[in-house]
Each structure stands twice: as structure tokens, then as C-alpha cells.
Amino acid sequence: MQVAEKFVSINGEGRRAGEPAVFIRFKGCNLNCSYCDTQWVNEAACPYMEMSPAEICTYAARTGIKNVTLTGGEPLLQEDMKELLRLLADAGLRAEIETNGAVPLQPFCSGAHPVFTMDCKLPGSGCEDAMICKNFACLGPDDTVKFVVSSRADLMRAEEIVRAYSLMKRCHVYVSPVFGAVDPQEIVAYMLERKLNDWRLQIQIHKVIWDPAARGV
């Protein structure tokens, strides 16, 4: 498996935001979002280390941290992901996969089922057409759909998708601003205006604590 970086920090977003986590960031992605903040892992020349699922699991277990966030890039493009998930589960670790919504989830829903934090790309990302809407049916009460918004138009589209797929009855719904591109106050105003009960605004707290461009945090 192609690991671009591995480190221990806190979860900056998702349901376990603020909790300690082991991060495994994999190289490569099948999308090129306009606001991508890890573009460097998508470059052909991105340095990486080759690690087996067993080596990754051993590293994670030795940290003493229970939360393991598998991210990228797009982690589900990595071969042997099912094996890694099985090993993490057997070790008593809690695996979360941050996925872009453009890779089928169904193959990863049997056996050691991870927690999915799935992006749903909106018009502002430039990648909305790549979304696999069948993925919504794979999500459950432990999973999250995350909308990253850069405009009111994105918020309106997010609301349409939540209603069309009854996401509030299926999973958690988070909305997050493109860092530095939209004022979170605008998102809050929209949520209150539209009475979006059970939606959750989330700021990327790791970008508040550390330099937004910092790696390994």
C-alpha cells in the first residue's frame, strides 16, 4: 500500500473531531477538486513508503491510540484495503475511512465494516458529476455525509441532495466551509433560515490549531 504519510494527531473533522487519532494518508486520488488541500498526494512525484496491511496495523496498534483515520487522496483506491480493515478490527482499533464519494462503497460493507465519512461533491468542487449516488444506500447511523461548500448555491444543492436521498433518516449530515473561501456565518444563517434541524456545521479544527498548510497534523 502506498502511504504518503503517517502520524498521530487529533481528528480535525468528522464525528470524532477533537479526539486523538492515528492518520494513514495514502497516495493518489481519482478526483481533482477545486479546493483540494492535499493536492500534493495526487502528484505523480509524491514520495511514499510501501507498507503492507500488517505493517500499517502494527504501527497503529503501537501508538496506543484507538481511532485510525484512513485518508488520502482516496484510500479506497488502495489494493488490500479489505485486509487492512480486517486487521484493524481484529486489533480492536476503530477504523474511519474518509472517502470522496466517487468510489463504490459496497465492496467494503461486508466483513470488517469501517465508519465512512463520505464527501458529497457540490458544484463548487468541479467534481459533482463523479459522485456515485448508489453509495448513499450503503450508509448507516454510524456514518456521515460531508458537504464542503463554497457558496450559497452549494448550500442549496446540498439541501436538495439531503432531501432527495432522505439522508437525515440514514446517517449524519455535516456541512463545512471551504477554508478561507466562505464565511461560516453565511452557512449558519442559511441553516437557521431553512430550519435545517440535525444538520451540523463543522470547522476544520486542525486548521485553527496549526498552520492551515502544515502537514503531519
Strand partners of residue 69: 23, 96
Backbone angles phi, psi at 209, to 5 degrees: -75, -45
pTM metric for this prediction: 0.93
For residue 101, what are the contacts with CB-CB under 8 A and spacing of at least 6? 118, 119, 120, 121, 130, 131, 132, 135
Strand partners of residue 119: 146
Q: Is 97 within 8 Å of 72 (Cβ atoms)?
A: no
Helix H or strand E encompassing 95: strand 94-99
User: How many Cβ atoms are within 10 Å of 20's Cβ, its own excluded?
Assistant: 14
Q: Is 199 within 8 Å of 175 (Cβ atoms)?
A: yes
Q: Tell me the pLDDT of the chain (217 aa) as tens digits.
A: 999 999 999 998 888 989 999 999 999 999 999 999 899 999 989 999 999 999 999 999 999 999 999 999 999 999 999 999 999 999 999 999 999 999 999 999 987 789 999 999 999 999 999 999 999 999 999 999 999 999 999 999 999 999 999 999 999 999 999 977 789 999 999 999 999 999 999 988 877 877 777 777 7
Residue type (1 letter), 211: D
Q: What is the dihedral of CA 169, 172, 173, 174, to 10 degrees?
A: 170
Angle at 101 between CA 15 and CA 129, to 5 degrees: 140
Dist. CA 73–CA 93, nearest whole Å:
22
